[in-house]
Amino acid sequence: MRYAAGRPTGPGIAPAPFPAPLPARARARLGAALLAVLCAAAPVAARAQEERPERIGQCVTTRVAAVGSRLTTPGGGNIPNSGSGISFTNGVRQVSCRNELMVQRARKDDRARLCLVRIGSGIPPTRTYNTTNQRTGDSWTLSDRVSGCI
């Protein structure tokens, strides 16, 4: 007699279901392991859903995602002398028509404190943030979009 998955096989014997059902104790251990993995992943998911300041005066701490120029080429390269651009891990972006030295000194993963200081009347409204880079101590106030750069 031959065996497969711990069960006899051969003529007249139905094949074992694959995979074989888990015993109750193994299912409980697997459930506990799955719960532990999900709980460990929760802080990662929370970081991906970082808050943005929504009310004037509200501040949040976030990290710099990228620093570059205001305009980029279709391939993603920076266009020199087009102004400054910075984006944060919570999705906020600030831009300026000028090359801002304090923005250019920021580096990816720097911690930054963003405070919403103004909400414009346009559609969608322009949001102006005061930002403090916690590594350099530099502070600047820029909007999330500009118009009329000359």
Residue 99 lies in domain: 59-143
Q: Is residue 5 part of a domain?
A: no
84 lies in some domain: yes
Q: Is residue 36 part of a domain?
A: no
User: How many angstroms separate the CA atoms of 48 and 67, rounded?
Assistant: 19
Instruction: Record the pTM.
Output: 0.65
CA distance 95 to 140: 11
125 in a structural domain: yes
Question: Taking the alpha carbons of 56, 59, 63, 68 in that order, is the dihedral positive or negative?
Answer: positive
DSSP per-residue letters across 54-92:
-STT-EEEEEEEEEEESSB-TTS-B-TTS-EEEEETTS-
The number of domains in the chain is: 1
In a domain, 81, yes or no: yes
Segment 47-73, tens digit of pLDDT: 456 899 999 999 999 999 999 998 888
Using pLDDT thresholds of 50, 70 and 90, give the confidence band for residue 44.
Answer: very low
Q: Among residues 72, 47, 78, 59, which one has the least CA distance to residue 141?
A: 59
Is the residue at 52 inside a domain? no
In a domain, 29, yes or no: no
